Amino acid sequence: MERALVNDAIEALEEANRRLLVDGLTPSEVNELLTRYARAEKLAAYGRTVLAGRAHDARTVARVTGTSVGRARRTVDTAKTLKDTPGLAEALRCGDVSSDQAEVIA
């Protein structure tokens, strides 16, 4: 079930990106779309973080996510902290905080 939902979300974002024409957008429209994309990124960060915690290996996480090994280690460490901080885990899951914010709070 989760895979199908994630695949649908990816397909929707891919289509949104194909249709995204930034020329001619008003500042208000730019702000609205930027806010929506930031929200999508925050929501995806939860899955990326908790799955990185299950992967355990920072090198694998780095390769899959296209980040540095140092960044991947911090993501794995944040995932471990989420187990002991349910409020932070919920905030990340709901997109109320970004992965960067969660890392600092953790």
Where do we find the tokens 């208000």?
28
User: What is the rounded distance in angstroms from the CA atom of residue 68 to the CA atom of residue 3?
Assistant: 26
pLDDT reported for residue 59: 96
Rg (the chain; Cα; Å): 15
pLDDT reported for residue 56: 80
Q: pLDDT of the chain along its 106 residues, tens only?
A: 689 999 999 999 999 999 999 999 999 999 999 999 999 999 999 999 999 999 989 999 999 999 999 999 999 999 999 999 999 999 999 999 999 999 999 8
pLDDT reported for residue 2: 84
